[in-house]
Amino acid sequence: MPLSDKIQVTDLEFDDIKSNLKNYLSAQSQFQDYDFEGSGMSILLDLLAYNTHYMGYYANMLGNEMFMDSASLRDSVVSHAKLLGVNPVSVKPATAALNFTFAPSGSPPSLVIAKNTKFLSKIDGVKYRFITTKSTLVPRELNGTYVALGVEIKEGKILNKTYTVDVNDTRQRFIIPNANADTDSIIVNVQASVSNSTLETYTNGSALDITTIKKTDKVFFIQEIENRQYELTFGNGAIGAPLSDGNIIFIEYIVSSGSIANKANTFSATSTVAGLSPSDYIVTTDAAADGGSDIQTTESLKFLAPKLYSAQKRACTKDDYKAILLEQRTDIESITTYGGEDADPVQYGKVFIAIKPKGNNVFSLAAKEAIIKDIIKQTNVVTVIPEIVDPSFFFLQFQTTVNYNPTTNLTDEVTLKTNINNSIQTYLQGNIEKFDQKFRYSPLTKDIDNTSSSIRNSKTTVRYAQRIYPATFGVVASYVMNFNNPIIPGCFKSTQFVGSDGYTWQLVDDTVGNIKAVKLVAGSTTTQTWTEDYATGWVHRVDSTGTLHTGEFHHDTDHHDDDSLLLDQQIQLDGTTNIGTVNYDTGKVSIVNFAPVSITSGASYIQCVAHPKVTTADIAPLREQILTYDVNDPNSIVINMVQETL
């Protein structure tokens, strides 16, 4: 049979393969009907093309799974990561702390809160079980009370699995048959044999330096296997002691729900605690549940494994800190690091790590200490002092005026406004709210304009807000806010707070670089309406005599009714009236010796708003700053709709 002189073998699609086969057959004359769908030849070609397509797909998948970059199956990625010395992080249980005050009958010398004492907590109507992972001794105090503070409980359930070693079974594996096991909670005890009850506890060799493990060390190693389960392996006589025939392995581990149990803060015991019923003790929450995280995702593992290999378990560069912390703590949503030489003020010898946890704004003090002690101190250069800083949230406020054509608008104005609001929020949620993510002005305005074809144009301005969270009310403290861009003099103001004299005060700038606290009368500044006209002038200003005026719109040609606008300014301990300073060129605001007694709105923060000189500029966050917006703030997204029919 004469054959076509060109055989195309690179196509993978069914139709292309079939077409190639037809071309191949066109060079012969014995079977001519391959062109017609009803012919037997066509059916035969379908089968051949289908088979070739099937094999091509299989070969393609096989090729993809051979490399970490292109692998899509978790088992493949885990296997590749294993070669780089990286094991995926397992699920981690949320951890809370409880305080107990016991009142037992009699005067026992001590009480014991047993391991695996169970508690329940509810989140959104769903119950989660918490347990103690170790027993706690509660001694009788000198005054006869029994108090246990900070008793740690973890979300989950303790499970056990037992294996008997059979050295003749070459296929024997020691598998933890649960996908949601916390590998940190695994405890392995090995009994010599059924007749010899000598029990030895094995340690996790995966957490040790492999070069330090001797041939007699009782260690086990953990590796993730198929279906997100874990397999334990033991020493081979060179690295770690080997198992013997008849050994009985007792494995204990916690199975947890992960991050979903974070924020649980009310706990009740399901049975007795230290042998006492609820009427004999008082339990309070010392720290709400925190630190729970889900199993490391395949994407995260693909991203981190090469970086961890590059870091070699040593934190030297900024990326090393990021890679190591992201690997160890899967409850981190965003992280950035910077050296002390970039800090303000400069602090040589330090490295600052800013972390935003998942589902929360900041880590608890205990969590931060644990990160420093258990992770960073194990890996970083000895002369460098690590410090974890909380993220500083830089709130953006948007004011948009949208001109639209009501005749081409297929919905009503309210719906269009809602859609524009959704467009803005979608853009913000996808493009900011993490460290080092800039706000870019033009993509936002493009998204607003693209919301509907009825929108003719829009004009958006951006204002800045930051928040002061007084740690303790009535205690003097200093605060720094960086707005990172030039701001207009006379446009800085804060929300209201109560001073030590019981009056309501507000922070404003005086247009010449000072921050002052001004007293409010009857809830508004000097009983005048606070007019905000940032486009044409100042909200507050200092006149030629040095007097601060505020509460009404002023500009250079409109000095009206000045005398009624005189304000009381808070007198500081040193006799001055300055609460701080503001640099209008850099946007840096420093507030010193500030001691509000309470906050008028009842919130935990004082919000400070500044108006930038350029309201249409991109904004880059600085160091630990995260650009964000407050969906609950009515000033966060303000949309003015203007109908244009012409």
Partner 1 sequence: MAIFTKPLSTNVRSWSDLDLDFKPHPVTGDIVVKRNVEAIKRSVRNLIQTNEHERPFHPEIGSNIRGVLFDLIAPTTAVVLQSSIRQVLNNYEPRIKLIDIKVVADSDRNGYHVTIAFEPINIPEAVTIEFFLERLR
Q: How far is the CB of 352 from partner 1 (least distance, A)?
A: 58
Q: How far is the CB of 31 from partner 1 (least distance, A)?
A: 6
Of 36 and 303, nearer to partner 1 (C-beta) is: 36
* Contact status: 69 vs partner 1 (CB under 8 A): no
Of 19 and 204, nearer to partner 1 (C-beta) is: 19
Q: How far is the CB of 37 from partner 1 (least distance, A)?
A: 4
Q: How far is the CB of 40 from partner 1 (least distance, A)?
A: 4
Parallel, antiparallel or unpaired: strands 385-389 and 350-357: parallel
Q: Which stretch binds partner 1 (CB under 8 A): 18-26, 262-270, 366-374, 448-456?
A: 18-26
Of 28 and 270, nearer to partner 1 (C-beta) is: 28
Do the beta carbons of residue 468 and residue 605 sit within 8 Å?
yes
Give the integer Cα–Cα distance in Å for 507 and 216: 68
Do the beta carbons of residue 525 and residue 548 sit within 8 Å?
no
Parallel, antiparallel or unpaired: strands 110-113 and 136-139: antiparallel
Of 17 and 81, nearer to partner 1 (C-beta) is: 17
* Contact status: 23 vs partner 1 (CB under 8 A): yes
Q: How far is the CB of 8 from partner 1 (least distance, A)?
A: 14
Of 47 and 59, nearer to partner 1 (C-beta) is: 47
Q: How far is the CB of 244 from partner 1 (least distance, A)?
A: 56
How does 518-528 read in b/e, with b if 16+ C-beta sit within 10 Å?
Answer: bbbeeeebbee
Give the integer Cα–Cα distance in Å for 515 and 505: 13
DSSP string, 198-251: -EEEEEEGGGS-GGG--TT--EEEEEE-GGG-EEEEE--SSSSPPP-TT-EEEE
Of 39 and 581, nearer to partner 1 (C-beta) is: 39
Q: State which of positions 31-60 bind partner 1 (CB under 8 A).
A: 31-41, 43-44, 46-47, 49-50, 53
Give the integer Cα–Cα distance in Å for 49 and 51: 5
The binder of partner 1 chosen from 2, 5, 30, 563 (CB under 8 A):
30
Residue 81, Cα to own-chain centre: how many angstroms? 24
Q: What are phi and psi of 604, to 5 degrees?
A: -90, 5
Give the integer Cα–Cα distance in Å for 514 and 304: 47
Of the candidates 583, 581, 580, the residue with the CA atom closest to the CA atom of residue 592 = 580
Give the integer Cα–Cα distance in Å for 98 and 132: 10
Q: Which stretch binds partner 1 (CB under 8 A): 20-28, 134-142, 361-369, 437-445?
A: 20-28
Give the integer Cα–Cα distance in Å for 27 and 23: 7
Q: Could you give the 3-state DSSP secondary structure of residue 268?
A: strand
Of 41 and 620, nearer to partner 1 (C-beta) is: 41
* Contact status: 392 vs partner 1 (CB under 8 A): no
Q: State which of positions 496-555 bind partner 1 (CB under 8 A).
A: none
Q: How far is the CB of 44 from partner 1 (least distance, A)?
A: 6
What radius of gyration do the chain's Cα atoms show? 34
Q: How far is the CB of 47 from partner 1 (least distance, A)?
A: 8
Q: How far is the CB of 59 from partner 1 (least distance, A)?
A: 18
DSSP letter for 463, please. E
Give, in order, the Cα–Cα distances in Å from 282 to each of 121, 132, 139: 16, 17, 16
Q: 548 pairs with which residues across the strands? A: 542
* Contact status: 15 vs partner 1 (CB under 8 A): yes
Which residues fall within 8 angstroms of residue 612, CB to CB, at 6 or more apart?
Answer: 462, 463, 464, 483, 485, 486, 487, 488, 587
Q: How far is the CB of 420 from partner 1 (least distance, A)?
A: 43
Q: Which stretch binds partner 1 (CB under 8 A): 25-33, 133-141, 404-412, 629-637?
A: 25-33
How does 103-113 read in b/e, with b if 16+ C-beta sit within 10 Å?
Answer: eeeeeeeebeb
Of 30 and 279, nearer to partner 1 (C-beta) is: 30
Q: How far is the CB of 12 from partner 1 (least distance, A)?
A: 13
Of 18 and 611, nearer to partner 1 (C-beta) is: 18
Of 19 and 233, nearer to partner 1 (C-beta) is: 19
Of 55 and 103, nearer to partner 1 (C-beta) is: 55
Of 32 and 284, nearer to partner 1 (C-beta) is: 32
Of 19 and 364, nearer to partner 1 (C-beta) is: 19
Q: How far is the CB of 62 from partner 1 (least distance, A)?
A: 21
- Edge-to-edge strands, sheet with 181-191: 157-164, 248-255, 181-191, 199-204, 219-224, 230-234, 174-176
Q: Which stretch binds partner 1 (CB under 8 A): 27-35, 102-110, 523-531, 558-566?
A: 27-35
Of 16 and 436, nearer to partner 1 (C-beta) is: 16
Of the CA atoms within 13 Å of residue 330, those in its CB half-sphere come to 22
Q: State which of positions 165-184 bind partner 1 (CB under 8 A).
A: none
The binder of partner 1 chosen from 8, 26, 72, 310 (CB under 8 A):
26
Tokens linked to 322:
């990021």
Of 2 and 125, nearer to partner 1 (C-beta) is: 2
Count the residues of the shown chain that bind partner 1, applying the rule CB under 8 A.
27
Burial tier of 295 (Cβ tally within 10 Å: 0-12, 13-18, 19+): buried
Parallel, antiparallel or unpaired: strands 95-102 and 146-155: antiparallel
Q: How far is the CB of 161 from partner 1 (least distance, A)?
A: 46
Q: How far is the CB of 36 from partner 1 (least distance, A)?
A: 6
Do the beta carbons of residue 228 and residue 222 sit within 8 Å?
no
Q: Could you give the 3-state DSSP secondary structure of residue 298?
A: helix
Which residues fall within 8 angstroms of residue 309, CB to CB, at 6 or more apart?
Answer: 84, 85, 86
Q: How far is the CB of 170 from partner 1 (least distance, A)?
A: 42
The binder of partner 1 chosen from 14, 250, 530, 605 (CB under 8 A):
14
* Contact status: 3 vs partner 1 (CB under 8 A): no
Residue ranges in contact with partner 1 by CB under 8 A: 14-15, 19, 22-23, 25-26, 29-41, 43-44, 46-47, 49-50, 53
